[in-house]
Amino acid sequence: MLESTVKTYFVYIMASKSRTLYTGVTNNLVRRVYEHKQKLIPGFTKKYNLTRLVYYETMPEVRAAITREKQIKGWRRAKKIALIESLNPHWQDLSANWLDAAGG
């Protein structure tokens, strides 16, 4: 699936049903999305019920992932929406089948 022996980093966007957005970075996307969905970590995503993974991309290096995350966070909302819709036009939860992989 998404795991391999080579370290991979992920820049991802979570959304609520009302399309509030959160951009983050992680080295384990399945675990991190599970944490968001189960509201295990206090903060923005828990407060605003951001439980749908609507976009992600992979990076081979942590510095590149953090740079990309900061770039996306600096964009206007319309540009973030265009990015999401370029790969996920219907805003489907890309992690819908992952719960078993994360132990949930």
Is 19 within 8 Å of 55 (Cβ atoms)? Answer: no
pLDDT at 100: 54
pLDDT greater than 70 at residue 26: yes
Q: Residue 24: which residues within 8 A CB-CB, separation 6 or more?
A: 11, 12, 13, 14, 32, 69
Confidence band (pLDDT; 50, 70, 90) for 41?
Answer: confident
Domains of the chain, by residue range, sit at 9-102
The pLDDT score that the predictor gives to residue 97 is 84
Whether the per-residue pLDDT at 42 is higher than 60: the answer is yes
For residue 4, the model assigns a pLDDT of 52
> What average pLDDT does the segment 48-68 reach?
96
What is the rounded CA–CA span in Å between residue 86 and residue 104? 30
Give CATH superfamily name and number for 9-102. Answer: GIY-YIG endonuclease (3.40.1440.10)
Provide the pLDDT for residue 104: 47
Please state the rounded mean pLDDT for residues 27-49. Answer: 93
